[in-house]
Structure 1
C-alpha cells in the first residue's frame, strides 16, 4: 500500500484527495493546519493540527512510513512549504509542490505588483477606501494608516479590537462579478489590495475592479525553496503521487 500525505487546505488539495482515494493501492491522508474555522474537508482520512515544524513533520513521515508528500497548501503558506522541503530532505521522502497558476494582468487592468504586504501598505495614501482581501492575520499591517478606510474581507474574524476605520466583512468564496461590483460601489472603494492567490474562487474581484477602473495592488507570491518539483494541475499531481517509487 503506497502511503501519500497531502498538506492541504485548498480546493486543489481537496480535488487531489478525491482523485487519489478513488485509486486502488493508495492510502491517502490529508493534513489541515487548523487555521480556518469550519474548513471544507476533503474526502478520505483527515489529520488536523500542525506538526511542530520541519522536525515534527519529518518524524511523522518516518513514523507513518509515508512514501510521497504533496504540498498543496496556499501559495502564501511559506512556512509550511519550507517545513515540507526540509522534512523531505531529512527523510528522503519525495516532495511535490502543487500550486495553481497565479493571476495575470489583462487589458484594462491597472495593477501594481509588490513583493510584500508591508510594501502594499506603504502605497496607500490618505483618502483611500481599500478593499482588503489579504487575510485576517495581515490586518494589523494596514490599520492606523492616516486617512485610510478599510473594507477587510476574511473567512474568520480578526483578533479584537477592530479599529473604527475598519469594516470587517465575513464571507467565503466563490464570489460573483455582480456581487463584487455591487460591494465596490456600495462602499465607494477606490483601490483593491490582494495577494496573487490565483484560481477562480476569488478572481471575480479582479474582473469587477477592471470594469470599474479600480487600481489593484497585487502582492507577489513568496519564492519556493530551491530544487522543489512544482506542478500546477491536479492531474499532474495525481499522476506523480500514484506512480510507484
Structure 2
C-alpha cells in the first residue's frame, strides 16, 4: 500500500509521524501556502496537482492506493476534488475533519458565510484582527474606515493591499497568554476567524472571551460527501483497515 497524505494541518503532522513510525509507505503533499513548512518525516511534495486530471495522473504515476485527506477545513475544493477523483478510480479515501468550534458562556460570536459580510457587523473606527490568513485578504476590501491587522506565517512579499492595515508575522501555535497580551497591545476591538476547529488554534478565541471582544466567525464551506473521521486516532484506525 502507498498512502497519499494530503497535509497542511497539525493533525497531518501527527499522522505523518505516526504512520512513519509504523513503517507505512507514505507520501505527503502540501499545496504550498506556507513557504517553509515544518518537516513531516515522510517524503513531501509541495504544490498543486493542476486540477482533477493532474491529481488523477499523479495517483497513477505514484502508485497511490489510498488517500487520507488532512487538509484545512477551508480547503474544501481540494477535498471535494480528491474525493471525487478517488471515487471514480476506486481508490479508498477518507477525510479527517476536526469538529467545528461552538460558542460557550462568555463568548460573543457572530456567524457569517462570506468574508465580505464582516463589514455589516463591524463598525467604522474599529481595530480588527484578521486571523484568516493572507489568501482571502482581498475579500475584506470593503472594510474601509476600520484598521485591519492580518496575521500570516511568512514575511510578506508585498505591501499591505489596503491603506487601512498592516501585516503581522507569527508562526503558531500561540498560547492563551500570548494572544491576550497581543490583543491588548494592539488595542484590538474585533477578532475575525474561520471556523477551523481544533484545540491549538482556539487560543485566540479564549483570549477574545477573556477580554470581552466580539468575534466574527466565518462558517465552513460545504464538505465532500465521503468517508470522514474526526480524530487522528480514528484516521489511523481507518488506515489499519486497508
TM-score by length of 2: 0.94
Structure 2 counterpart of 1:74? 72
Q: C-alpha distance in 2, partners of 1:115/1:68? A: 32
Alignment of 1:201-212 (within 5 A): 201-212=200-211
Q: State the secondary structure of the residue aligned to 1:136.
A: coil
Alignment of 1:1-245 (within 5 A): 2-24=1-23, 26-143=24-141, 145-158=143-156, 160-162=158-160, 163-226=162-225, 228-244=226-242
Identify unmatched segments of 5+ residues in structure 2: none
Measure how far apart 1:5 and its partner are: 0.5
User: What is the aligned residue count?
Assistant: 241
Q: C-alpha distance in 1, partners of 2:27/2:144? A: 47
- Preserved CA contact (<8 Å) 1:129 1:150: yes
Large movers: runs of 4+ above 6 Å:
none
- Per-residue CA shift, 1:207-230, capped at 9, x if unaligned? 11111110000001111122x111
Mark the CA change 1:146 to 1:50 in structure 2 (over 3 Å): closer, same or farther: closer
- Preserved CA contact (<8 Å) 1:8 1:71: yes
TM-score by length of 1: 0.93
Identify unmatched segments of 5+ residues in structure 1: none
Aligned Cα root-mean-square deviation (Å): 1.5
